[in-house]
Amino acid sequence: MITDKIGLRVKELRTELGLSQEKLALKAEIDRTYLAGVEQGKRNPSVKSLEKIIYALGVKFSEFFKDM
Amino acid sequence: MITDKIGLRVKELRTELGLSQEKLALKAEIDRTYLAGVEQGKRNPSVKSLEKIIYALGVKFSEFFKDM
């Protein structure tokens, strides 16, 4: 499912940056438990919520989705 | 806003395919008025809703987001 793929990609980029879920959530101005749910593919984020996460990861949408 | 960029991209790909909003909405199994709202940037679709539209347009996420 797309939510699983997105979750894995968020986790991949977050760990590449050496950021904890707490740090990334703070940067993205979202709740830590919400971010955890997204990483686990349990949430179906809106594009605006996803945008916050993607920008906090320091990438563009094209880079985020490049292998999907 | 990301919703505007997504809306313009949906419209661009839909018109390239020569599809009406009705035809694309039917293919994506979503409401025509919902699709219209997405194209106008008035809706904030979830990634699962966006997936339906992107697949109905016959592209991958990477292709859809390539210039964003």
Structure tokens at A46: 């809106």
> Cα-flanking dihedrals φ and ψ of residue B14, to 5°?
-65, -45
Ranges of chain B with pLDDT below 50:
none
- What is each CA distance from A39 to A6, A23, B24, B52, in whole angstroms? 7, 14, 30, 21
**Closest by alpha carbon to B63, among B18, B14, B4, B13?**
B13
A4 CA to centre of own chain:
11
pLDDT in tens, A24-64: 999 999 999 999 999 999 999 999 999 999 999 999 999 99
Which pLDDT score is estimated for B67? Answer: 96
Q: In total, how many domains does chain B have?
A: 1
The ipTM assigned to this model is 0.94
Q: Which domain holds residue B41?
A: 2-64
pLDDT at B62: 98
One-letter-per-residue 3-state SS of A23-41: HHHHHHCCCHHHHHHHHCC
* Chain A residues touching B62 at Cβ < 8 A: 62, 65-68
Residues of A in contact with B1 (CB under 8 A): 48
Kindly report the CATH number assigned to the domain that includes residue B52. Answer: 1.10.260.40
Give the pair of three-digit tokens for residue A3: 């939510």
A to B CB pairs, distance under 8 Å = 50
